[in-house]
Structure 1
Amino acid sequence: MNSQIFTEKLQGIMEEMKEISHMDYFLFSEEGDLEAQTKDVDIPELGKMVRKFRDSPAERQIARGFFFVRICIWGRTEYILLAETEGTDEHSYTIVQMAASQIRNLYLMANSPMDENQYLRQLLLGNLSDEEMEEEAKKLKLDQNPRSMFVLEFEEEKNEIAMETVRNLFLKDDSEYLLDMNGYRAVLIKYADRQPEEAAEELAHMIIDNLQTEALANVKVGYGRNISSYQQMEQNYKDICTALKISRIFYPKKQVAVYEHLGIGRLIYQLPKDLCQMFLKEVFSGEEEVELDKEMLVTIDKLFENNLNISETARQLYVHRNTLVYRLERIEKILGLDIRTFEDAMMFRIAMMVQAHVKYLEKKESRNIVKRSAQ
């Protein structure tokens, strides 16, 4: 992990702990230099107090309204963490210790030797500079053969049975990898020569089917273009994650998402909320949203599946043709669109996708409001 990324993550940990504990933090190096802080103030005496604490045998101390905590790594003092607090009880100390523990773990992660899985995970997350990327690849003796990447997103938190199923069925040897990214996401990296591009969708469906059968796990799988070097992996991973997000919004029934085949969803995903709302009002005669019952939605979906063929749609819905025509006329009164015609059918399909995008943006805004309120 390069120094800039490490510093950013260090600052992020301290800001997060401030939000949780409502205390300000100051992190000093063993030499007494200020490394990070959550409060932009200059307290000249702090450096002197830190050095005095460093030279003492104490592991923790309270002085001048600050908790002092020593952060030792591999037997030596690496950092000294100060927390500005009015409380001096054990609960406050426990919170400061949690912050110290997170800083210690970040340091160990940044400075410990990486195995292949750790290297690839850090690479995908963008935690390595170009120099570190090449240096670690040489240390691990990783080849630059073309590879294909599959991102697995689980509906519920994945378990070891699911991971073991993928590991046993889809890893051919130790040059292919299964990475645990978080509780709901994993990444499968395979040799591209064993996985030609035209067979990628078949493999994606095999992963889905086997996880449902063997691990009772529902999963969406995304994949993109083949990658010819490790430098391309981070961007490829981001692209596939974007494809999965777009697929969840616009194509929720699809279990496989392909970055190169996102269709009009890719375009709508880029639109701002106000422009979407303006479009919906134009289509739906001043309304931003239309509500259709289940029967109407099933009818519309089936009509689209059959390329607007009335007779075939009626046959598959097990209704008389006249009954279907009556339903479509009712839908036309509600929507102001005759979806039996190609132009209005396309307008409705696009409007439904735009409406789904607006709902996604509103849900995202609500989550952010709740998060800010909790702070």
Structure 2
Amino acid sequence: MSSRIFQSIVLQMKDCSDRAVGVIDEQGTVVACNELSCIGEKWSNVAAMLAAEQDTLVVSNGFTFKTLPGWNGQFDYAVFVRGEDEQSALTCSMAVIALNGAKLYYEEKHDRATFVKNILCDNILLGDIYVRAKELHFVSEAPRAVILVRQLGVPDVSALDVISGLYPDRQSDFVLSISETDMAVVKQLGEGNDSRDVQKIAQEVQETLTRELGIKTVVGVGTIVNHVRDLARAYKEAQVAIEVGRVFDTERSIINYENLGIGRLIYQLPTTLCEMFLKEVFKQGS
């Protein structure tokens, strides 16, 4: 969460209140305040007190505090107002409403991409997926496809921006940087779309990168999933498509997991079993 969002709001509050109004983070550090000299101060004892007294007004050291609602009930930020009287309590409660609205808007706009990336990379528990999706107002049940784009040769950092330009709707479509060479496109599909439509999307991505940047890519396409929890599976399928295609289908640059055939089964065999088979077929000295 950017402190600049908080700072712009508390500075506006200076015009309608003579009280110092600001925000501290979970470490007790002042990240925003309409009295600029306070920014950067650390109030660790207050942070510990707020963690135990969430959702209620807390008075301490001449200030009134109230926490902002956080993800999964955790304390991330708290608003403070100088003073311990009723006016301070009222100002603090009103500031919480304003700052929490800005916080929610920021998270919905920017944190959805992080949420989707955490699902793809298995960095979030299954139970937390449902909680986080609800908090971000993220549509859980919708047909989506995961397309993995891997650059060949020297990677171009502009590739992410080029692909992002194809999908301006950042609330339902996501273009994510996975590594130096890999990018994932999570595309929400319309009703009735099938694998042929996903193939066209993959082809559009590849052709655009070739036309705009002149780079070569290999693209893996996972199966269409209907729930956000299954995005990780679709991403792994796209990875497998690229790996299997590199061995069994070197002529194609767009490989769909559904069309891998027997190559997919061979890829899933244990390495030791493959070595045993090769030793039996190609016996030493033959």
Normalising TM by the smaller chain, what interval?
Answer: 0.5 to 0.7
1:122 equivalent to 2:121? Answer: no
What residue identity is the alignment partner of 1:185? D
Once the two structures are superposed, the pairs formed by residues 332-351 of structure 1 within 5 Å of their partners are none
User: Which structure: greater strand fraction?
Assistant: 2
Pick closer, same or farther for the CA change 1:75–1:266 going to 2, 3 Å: farther
Structure 1 residue runs without a partner (length 5+): 1-29, 31-73, 79-110, 289-375
Match of 1:139 among 135, 149, 160: 135
What residue identity is the alignment partner of 1:182? S
Match of 2:200, SS state, is helix
In structure 2, the residue matched to 1:326 is none
In structure 2, the residue matched to 1:33 is none
Pick closer, same or farther for the CA change 1:287–1:279 going to 2, 3 Å: farther
Q: Deviations over 1:225-263 (max 9, x none)?
A: 211111111121112212211112222332112112212
Pick closer, same or farther for the CA change 1:225–1:287 going to 2, 3 Å: farther
Q: Deviations over 1:277-329 (max 9, x none)?
A: 554466567579xxxxxxxxxxxxxxxxxxxxxxxxxxxxxxxxxxxxxxxxx
1:197 equivalent to 2:176? Answer: no
Match of 2:244 among 243, 246, 250: 246
In structure 1, the residue matched to 2:266 is 268
What residue identity is the alignment partner of 1:134? Y
8 Å contact 1:280–1:287 — kept in the other structure? no
Q: Deviations over 1:166-205 (max 9, x none)?
A: 1112445532111111111111111211753222222222
The CA RMSD measured in Å over matched residues stands at 3.2
8 Å contact 2:145–2:234 — kept in the other structure? no
Offset at 1:131? 2.5
Normalising by structure 1, report the TM-score.
0.44
Offset at 1:75? 6.6
In structure 2, the residue matched to 1:58 is none
Pick closer, same or farther for the CA change 1:210–1:75 going to 2, 3 Å: farther
Pick closer, same or farther for the CA change 1:249–1:137 going to 2, 3 Å: same
What residue identity is the alignment partner of 2:126? D
Offset at 1:276? 3.5
Structure 2 residue runs without a partner (length 5+): 1-26, 28-41, 48-75, 78-106
Aligned positions, number: 186
Once the two structures are superposed, the pairs formed by residues 102-121 of structure 1 within 5 Å of their partners are 115-121=111-117
Match of 1:214 among 212, 222, 226: 212
Once the two structures are superposed, the pairs formed by residues 348-363 of structure 1 within 5 Å of their partners are none
Greater Rg over alpha carbons, structure:
1
Normalising by structure 2, report the TM-score.
0.56
Whole-angstrom distance in 1 between the partners of 2:268 and 2:279: 19
What residue identity is the alignment partner of 2:216? N
Whole-angstrom distance in 2 between the partners of 1:262 and 1:115: 34
Match of 1:164, SS state, is helix
Farther-moved stretch of structure 1 (273-282 vs 186-195): 273-282
